[in-house]
Amino acid sequence: MKNTETIGEITPMKSYPGYVVCMSLNAEVISVWNIRKSKYIGQAVQLERGLVESTSTVLVRDMKLYILSDKSSATSTETPRPIFQTLVMYDLLKKKFSKKLTGLYIIPSPKHEYRILPGDLLLGLSEYRDHLVIWNLNTGSIKERIRPTYKDKLSLNVFTSYLKDNLYKELLAQKKKERDTKGSGAFLTPWEKRSETKTAHKRRLDKEVKQEIEILQQFSNEKSNPIDQYLLSGDEKIIVCSYFAHHLAVFSLETESHIQTIEDRTSMLFLHIAALTYSGSYLALSNYNDMEKVSYVTLWDLQTGKVKKRLKNEPNVCCIAITGNADRIVFGVMEANRLKVWDPFRKGHKTIPGYENLHFRTNSTVHLTDRGSKAIVLAGDVSIWDLDSGTVLSIFTPDSVIQNMTLALESNLILLGMSNNPVLIVLKLTSKNKLELTSTGGNMFGEESSSEEDDNSYEDYGLPQS
């Protein structure tokens, strides 16, 4: 098989959890796999080839493929920019195209920045990446634009006028109040303070107030930065956006509005190493304090916009995971090659040493299962960790590179795409008990069924406990 046919993306079906859709690196091959039945391990129940062009973007949700194509330059704007003008929907179950819309105006973005939402809605970014856009894929029109609304964001003229009339006086009074403690004049010796003239004292205070005003203006200007990255909660109701700045914006998809802003003047807040709880109530992320020169792992309460808990001196964090109620946060540490377990609502945390061939890198991932008692780590190998006992239970070391890993069926199955194999690899965490499934519509692609077959017999493909 050509390398281009290896699995580059694995998407579990939300409404039909017994199936997953796999896509090759160039979307040339799109396949559907039954992960409930051991009989179909190693073979797809449906295979599609040649549905899309190399310039198209293909998105998946359940049984539908959403194909954005016909990329061309928009002529209705002063500066021509590329747009997707055509959307085609393909029904994997019926094996036919179900809809085609033309004349669209969908902004091209990297594929991972699109999300298909319930009701045939497409979430993406605007032309200038300054706000979120929701397209209705049934009509092709824009349903909603979700823009940030910052209460403290002021234009330069208004901001300067406001400072002259109010903020300057407030800052000056604050500096005078702090001059004998930690604020203005804290860097002076006692002799310099005693010998400082009133004129020199006023000049120094004016200079410090001016510097404070410039800092506030910089923070205000950051509110106009483009969106760097966003996270969508598991229940698809909360979005958190970063902006190359000292703040994050939180949006609600239910109300389609900006609901919270979290800020940290001492740290740039990025989402590259971050995890959001399923409901979007809490956010765990790694950040670096520029003033203290210290790295933190911080738990934010997104409902209040405040820091809930913070773990100090945690550099080289490369991946992070959080439980649904934020009572446990687990993260991998590069160089030390260790897994750390932090229960933020309890005292203390612990470090679990890695095994000899464990290599945490920037592309490593960690997932929590069994209510946070176990972790599944992809760091070259796939490993299973018992977090309560602090041990590594089992390790799966393939003879080729693992391109991607996805969990399915309530994290009971590990799905792997390999670099030299177009076949979906299925690993089961344990060999006890059958999986409890809630999926509807069994054997939807005409698979044969047998009452004698153990539909959950994955022992030969599983991870033996060590």
Which tens digit of pLDDT belongs to each residue from 84-109? 999 999 999 999 999 999 999 999 99
Residue 36 has pLDDT above 60, yes or no: yes
Residue 232 has pLDDT above 50, yes or no: yes
Residue 302 has pLDDT above 90, yes or no: yes
Q: What is the pLDDT of residue 443?
A: 77
Provide the CB-side half-sphere exposure for 344 (13 A, CA): 24
Most confident stretch, 19-23, 177-181, 347-351: 19-23
Residue 179 has pLDDT above 70, yes or no: no
Of 386, 385, 425, 384, which is closest to residue 404 (Cα–Cα)? Answer: 425
Q: Using an 8 Å Cβ cutoff, are 146 and 249 in contact? A: no
d(CA 335, CA 364): 13
Residue 395 has pLDDT above 70, yes or no: yes
The model's confidence at residue 78, banded by pLDDT at 50, 70 and 90, is low
Give the residue-averaged pLDDT of 113-123. Answer: 96
Q: Which residue has the tokens 């896509």?
A: 23
d(CA 123, CA 135): 7
Give the residue-averaged pLDDT of 440-448. Answer: 70
Of residues 441 and 124, more confidently modeled: 124
Residue 133's SS3 state is strand
What are the Cα distances from residue 8, in Å, to 177, 248, 382, 425?
61, 30, 17, 13
Which tens digit of pLDDT belongs to each residue from 364-383? 999 999 999 999 999 989 99
The model's confidence at residue 287, banded by pLDDT at 50, 70 and 90, is very high
Give the residue-averaged pLDDT of 70-95. Answer: 82
Residue 409's SS3 state is coil
Least confident of 190-194, 254-258, 283-287, 421-425: 190-194
Q: What is the pLDDT of residue 211?
A: 78
Sheet containing 365-369, strands listed edge to edge, beginning at the edge strand earlier in sequence:
365-369, 374-379, 381-386, 391-396
Least confident of 26-40, 42-56, 193-207, 386-400: 193-207
Q: What is the pLDDT of residue 37?
A: 80
Residue 399 has pLDDT above 70, yes or no: yes
Give the residue-averaged pLDDT of 440-464. Answer: 54
Residue 453 has pLDDT above 80, yes or no: no
**For residue 123, how many other CB atoms are within 10 A of its CB?**
21
Residue 230 has pLDDT above 60, yes or no: yes
Of residues 463 and 295, more confidently modeled: 295
Give the residue-averaged pLDDT of 146-160. Answer: 67
Residue 80 has pLDDT above 90, yes or no: no
Q: What is the CA radius of gyration of the chain?
A: 27
d(CA 405, CA 8): 10
Residue 117 has pLDDT above 50, yes or no: yes
Give the residue-averaged pLDDT of 439-466. Answer: 52
Q: Using an 8 Å Cβ cutoff, are 329 and 297 in contact? A: yes
Q: Using an 8 Å Cβ cutoff, are 370 and 384 in contact? A: no
Q: What is the pLDDT of residue 447?
A: 79
Residue 153 has pLDDT above 90, yes or no: no
Q: What is the pLDDT of residue 386?
A: 95
Give the residue-averaged pLDDT of 230-246. Answer: 97
Q: What is the pLDDT of residue 175?
A: 59
Give the residue-averaged pLDDT of 134-163. Answer: 77
Residue 255 has pLDDT above 80, yes or no: yes
Give the residue-averaged pLDDT of 351-375. Answer: 94
